[in-house]
Amino acid sequence: VTLEEQGLPTATIITDVFANTGKAFTSIVGKSEFPFLLCPHPITGISHKDLEDRIRQLAPQVSRLLLEGSL
Binned at pLDDT 50, 70 and 90, residue 45 comes out as: very high
pTM for the full model?
Answer: 0.86
> What does the alpha-carbon distance between residue 25 and residue 8 come to, in Å, rounded to a whole number?
19
Helix (H, G, I), strand (E, B) or coil at 58: helix
* Residue 24: per-residue pLDDT: 98
Q: Looking at the predicted structure, is the pLDDT value of residue 55 above 90?
A: yes
What is the pLDDT of the chain when averaged over all its residues? 95
> What does the alpha-carbon distance between residue 27 and residue 50 come to, in Å, rounded to a whole number?
32
DSSP string, 4-44: HHTT-----EEEGGGHHHHHHHHHHTT-TT---EEEPSP-S
Q: Looking at the predicted structure, is the pLDDT value of residue 71 above 90?
A: no
* Residue 70: per-residue pLDDT: 86
